[in-house]
Amino acid sequence: MTETAVGSPALKANPESKSQQAYAAVKARIVEGTYTPGYRLVLAKIAEDLGFSVVPVREAIRRLEAEGLVKFERNVGATVAGIDPTEYLYTMQTLSIVEGAATALSAPLIDSVAIARARAVNEEMRECLEHFDPVRFTALNQDFHSVLFEHCPNPHILDLVHRGWNRLASLRSSTFRFVPGRAQESVREHEALLQLIEGAADADTIEKAARRHRAATLDAYLAQAKQ
Amino acid sequence: MTETAVGSPALKANPESKSQQAYAAVKARIVEGTYTPGYRLVLAKIAEDLGFSVVPVREAIRRLEAEGLVKFERNVGATVAGIDPTEYLYTMQTLSIVEGAATALSAPLIDSVAIARARAVNEEMRECLEHFDPVRFTALNQDFHSVLFEHCPNPHILDLVHRGWNRLASLRSSTFRFVPGRAQESVREHEALLQLIEGAADADTIEKAARRHRAATLDAYLAQAKQ
DNA sequence: TCCATAGTTATCGTATACGATTTCGTACTT
DNA sequence: AAGTACGAAATCGTATACGATAACTATGGA
């Protein structure tokens, strides 16, 4: 009766739940910039766009709220979480700590191939400095750091790092657009970091270096914002 | 506050959403130990207990999942997240990092009154050592550390610390029950921490001390578990 | 006796429906 | 004319309903 449709076995692969799909879809739109900060996320609208009911969309929104990507107000609705300077400060400071730790924990596990890859990325960034393209530069920056922290054996810490980066994704270009001078310094610090890792420096040294690297970007931003 | 007395009028203050209520209720039951690790959280059952529909309960469960308090499997259901040794390791390590940072950031803002309070708590812990009561000891331990990190000016970091502690709440007694020797050492380290803060030691020193304090508990546990 | 398979049950995932709350526009009063 | 009060529209929050999925049980064959 229920016609179990065994006919198409291959399609069975990944019928991810609609909540998941909705989550991925909305998150993608936020990260990629289709939904800009402040954009109002109306459940019914999104549900219609995706062809779902509102229920899975609701769940997706709540998950995004938990990650800090959207702001939610009861009986009012959800909006894409902009990042005001204060939020930026908090997020960067937190990221400096968890990313520093992740990088230090990851360092002993990074093989020379990965180092080479990171160095190549950093080289691209250096080239990028001339015909300055902030968006590309920021993307490469994330690639670079990913190589450094992705080997972190503690998944909790790694997750926190990812969340921090996601949180900042809505800014993308902004950071380096606002603080152009910082970009060059950044590239230099990257090379220094690589040498520390290659040289098997002790964990504390690497952690501090990674943390200060991020903190320096934050400071540069703050100095800029002051004026 | 035993009942949610629907009759109460004019209490416009907190008509909290049922999702919130469900979240709080389930979380409380987990933290207080009514729902032990592995306990199966059946949506319909919980909904009935609370007198709600399943929808708000669902949302609550998902939030708890995001916090790591429950494990959720699609089309199967949710269970209270037990903490196996690996999870314990990850959680404690993460906590050592974020709590260390939170304590260091918090330190300059801790006034002498708070220090005195913390010292009083630690004194209670010391007394607790004789007629050893692991549950009480652990509760006091949390009180003590709360005083130290609650002033942390960065709410994101503070939130991470809280999540870590919640995650460990299901163990409560366990840690110090399993590693009795650790308790005395712990009390001593607390006093040392207080002196660092009183003496306005630099942030890095305090951070390291706080981190090592937690890491030491973890190590003690691991050494014990090995046997 | 043990394993494979079909049927049953428990539980989840999502759609639809409706009441509740907020927001916005409009008319009325001062 | 400006401010306030009322009402309509938009949107959310929750309940109920039903199809879908996976765990469980019983039955038959090797």
pLDDT of residue A172: 65
For residue A73, what is the nearest residue in chain B, using CA coordinates? B17
pLDDT of residue A209: 98
> Cβ A156–B94 below 8 Å, yes or no?
yes
pLDDT of residue A19: 95
For residue A161, what is the nearest residue in chain B, using CA coordinates? B94
What span, in angstroms and rounded, lies between the C-alpha atoms of B137 and B190? 13
10-residue averages of pLDDT along chain B (227 residues): 34 69 95 90 96 96 92 94 89 97 98 97 92 86 96 97 89 68 92 97 97 95 80
Taking the CA atoms of residue A166, residue A168, residue A173 and residue A179 in that order, the dihedral angle to the nearest 10 degrees is -150
pLDDT of residue A7: 32
Match 């319909």 to its residue by tokens. Answer: B44
Distance of CA A170 to the CA centre of its chain: 9
Judge whether residue A42 contacts strand D, using its CB and a 7 Å cut-off: yes
Tokens at B78, concatenated: 């949710």
H helices present in A170-202, as ranges: 174-178, 180-198
pLDDT of residue B15: 64
- CB-based contacts of B18: which residues, under 8 Å, 6+ apart? B50, B52, B56
pLDDT of residue B13: 43
Long-range contacts of A195-200 (CB under 8 A, 24+ apart): A196/A107, A197/A107, A197/A110, A197/A115, A197/A148, A198/A112, A198/A115, A200/A107, A200/A108
For residue A204, what is the nearest residue in chain B, using CA coordinates? B208
* Chain A CB contacts of B43 below 8 Å: none
* Chain A CB contacts of B58 below 8 Å: 59
What span, in angstroms and rounded, lies between the C-alpha atoms of A187 and B141? 44
Which residues of chain B have a Cβ shorter than 8 Å from any chain A Cβ? Answer: 17, 55, 58-59, 62-63, 66-68, 74, 90-91, 93-94, 97-98, 101, 154-157, 160
- CB-based contacts of A159: which residues, under 8 Å, 6+ apart? none
**Amino acid A84 CA to nucleotide C30 C1' distance, rounded Å:** 43
Question: What is the three-class DSSP state of B71?
Answer: strand
**Amino acid A34 CA to nucleotide C13 C1' distance, rounded Å:** 28
pLDDT of residue B174: 62
For residue A93, what is the nearest residue in chain B, using CA coordinates? B154
Question: Testing the interface with A: which of B58, B74, B97 to mutate, by most A Cβ within 10 A?
Answer: B97
- Which nucleotide is closest, CA of A56 to its C1'? C14
10-residue averages of pLDDT along chain A (227 residues): 33 70 95 90 96 96 92 94 89 97 98 97 92 86 96 97 89 68 92 97 97 95 80
Q: Strands of B70-73's sheet, edge to edge? A: B40-41, B77-80, B70-73
Q: What are phi and psi of B71, to 5 degrees?
A: -105, 135
> Cβ A94–B63 below 8 Å, yes or no?
no
Tokens at B114, concatenated: 């708070």
DSSP-assigned letter for residue B110: -
Q: Which of A80, A92, A77, A91 is nearest to A32 (CA)?
A: A80
Are A127 and A51 contacting, i.e. CB atoms less than 8 angstroms apart? no
> Cβ B97–A93 below 8 Å, yes or no?
no
Q: What angle do CA A210, A162, A184 make, to 5 degrees?
A: 40
Task: List pLDDT tens digits, range A49-104.
Answer: 999 999 999 999 999 998 889 999 999 999 999 888 898 999 999 999 999 999 99
Residues 30-89 (B) near nucleic chain D, CB < 7 A:
47, 51-56, 59, 75-76
